[in-house]
Amino acid sequence: MPLKELLLLGTGLSDATSERGVSCDGELPPASDPALVERALAARQALGNRAMVLGHHYQRDEVIQFADITGDSFKLAQAAAENTTAEFIFFCGVHFMAESADILTSERQKVSLPDLAAGCSMADMATATQVNDCWAQLERLGVASRTVPITYMNSSAAIKAFTGKNGGAVCTSSNAERAMSWAFEKGEKILFLPDQHLGRNTAVTKLGLSLSDCVVWNPWKPMGGLTEDAIKAAKVILWRGHCSVHGRFSLQNIHDVRTAVPGIQVLVHPECQHEVVINSDVVGSTEAIIRTIEAAPAGSAWAIGTELNLVQRLANAHSDKKILFLDKTVCYCSTMNRIDLPHLVWAMESLVKGTFVNQIKVDTTVAEHARVALERMLALP
């Protein structure tokens, strides 16, 4: 399904209305060099099994077409670790993903991020200094010993290392319930980093806690903007972080699409706001969203609340279903989209010439503690 049609269906706008400038088709411009595809094919062939290209689901199609494996961040990091033949890993994603791949791979393997500017706004919302300060204040209040940190995969290596050092574990959007249940078996409270929405949604919709059991720690305010009593009473301390893409979806978006397309089902990622999650029909990780659409019957209609590249790809792959983007406006992950074909070609051609560019290398001590947190997640029952 063309993206223009996908967006117009979601907004209820007519094609004529779109042409007057009310809507935007959101198509990404083609690569400036028409020979880039041929150059990419030649470089990839020249590198052979010495190299591996990993593509996150939110990447542009122009990059995904060269990926040896596509998936979410943890699946891709695991794939890199399992492929012992590949000495060089080109990670088409964002910075924290390349860090995780470097942590999990062997010393002989090297990881490249084709554009070093491809960061993650959510991961950047929790710095090591801020988190260490938060922990020090929890220690001062006498609650740190009863608090287990859980950090989302979408965090820096430094935050994963903090979690590992303090008895916690990493989680993904698909196993957050399991990780948080494990944490409550070990302690009385959870410090959930850095996505408040995933933490809140899991605590309330999966673990049966109430919204009042959760408080939000604002790192820009003294003592997180909370009182001592609020911190001591809370069962889950949520970091004030969020995904800039998933945080955009609103309850109004759901009302609008259900009005425009009666009977449509709303499918969203658990990084969305709580009111969006509890008013959706299906909630799931990126991989779960893909599986849901693949298993859906022909003729069914879905409004999907996740990154636009993936929604567009699902719409094109499942033309027998009506697949819409939940928001009324175009919303790509701006940092994820920094990895484009020119950067990938440059990185691969540089290696063909003997230079490995943009290597992501995590400090040995940081990697050691971060690996502990990752291994605790892998060991969860």
Check residues 24 and 117 and name the one with the higher pLDDT: 117
Count how many Cα atoms sit within 13 Å of the Cα of residue 340 in the half-sphere of its side chain.
14
On whether residue 379 sits in a domain, the answer given is no
Domain check: are 150 and 258 in the same one? no
pLDDT, residue 27, reads: 53
On whether residue 374 sits in a domain, the answer given is no
On whether residue 239 sits in a domain, the answer given is yes
Domain check: are 232 and 255 in the same one? no
pLDDT digits (tens, 9 = 90+) for 354-372: 999 999 999 999 999 999 9
pLDDT(313) > 70: yes
Q: How far apart, in whole angstroms, are the C-alpha atoms of residue 30 and residue 231?
A: 51
Whole-model pTM: value is: 0.87
pLDDT(19) > 50: no
Domain check: are 184 and 81 in the same one? no
Domain check: are 48 and 112 in the same one? yes
pLDDT, residue 381, reads: 76
pLDDT, residue 29, reads: 52
pLDDT(21) > 80: no
Residue appearing with tokens 């950090």: 151
H helix count then E strand count, the chain: 18, 13
Among the candidates 226, 243, 260, a domain finishes at: 243
* Whether 174 contacts 288, CB under 8 Å: yes
pLDDT digits (tens, 9 = 90+) for 155-212: 999 999 999 999 999 999 989 999 999 999 999 999 999 999 999 999 999 999 999 9
pLDDT(22) > 90: no
On whether residue 295 sits in a domain, the answer given is yes
Q: What integer best gives the mean pLDDT of the chain?
A: 90
On whether residue 62 sits in a domain, the answer given is yes
pLDDT, residue 76, reads: 86
* Whether 44 contacts 66, CB under 8 Å: yes
Backbone angles phi, psi at 65, to 5 degrees: -60, -20
pLDDT digits (tens, 9 = 90+) for 264-312: 999 999 999 999 999 999 999 999 999 999 999 999 999 999 989 899 9
pLDDT, residue 57, reads: 87
pLDDT, residue 32, reads: 59
Residue 235 burial by Cβ neighbours in a 10 Å radius (0-12, 13-18, 19+)? middle
What is the domain range of residue 161?
123-243
Alpha helix (H) residue ranges in 202-285: 228-233, 251-260, 274-278
Which H or E run includes 193?
strand 189-193
Among the candidates 196, 213, 243, a domain finishes at: 243
On whether residue 199 sits in a domain, the answer given is yes
* 172 SS3 class: coil
Q: Which two tokens stand for residue 374?
A: 């990752």
Q: How far apart, in whole angstroms, are the C-alpha atoms of residue 53 and residue 49?
A: 10
Say how many domains are in the chain.
3
Q: What sign does the dihedral 253-254-259-263 (CA atoms) show?
A: positive
Domain check: are 286 and 210 in the same one? no
* Whether 238 contacts 131, CB under 8 Å: no
Domain check: are 16 and 110 in the same one? no
Domain check: are 63 and 107 in the same one? yes
pLDDT, residue 30, reads: 61
Among the candidates 220, 243, 266, a domain finishes at: 243
Residue appearing with tokens 């400036």: 32
What CATH number is associated with residue 46?
A: 3.40.50.10800
Q: Which two tokens stand for residue 375?
A: 């291994």
Domain check: are 204 and 252 in the same one? no
Report the percent of the chain where pLDDT is more than 70: 91
Domain check: are 231 and 193 in the same one? yes
Check residues 73 and 37 and name the one with the higher pLDDT: 37
Q: How far apart, in whole angstroms, are the C-alpha atoms of residue 92 and residue 142?
A: 43
Domain check: are 227 and 131 in the same one? yes
Domain check: are 220 and 152 in the same one? yes
Domain check: are 230 and 160 in the same one? yes
pLDDT(98) > 70: yes
On whether residue 136 sits in a domain, the answer given is yes
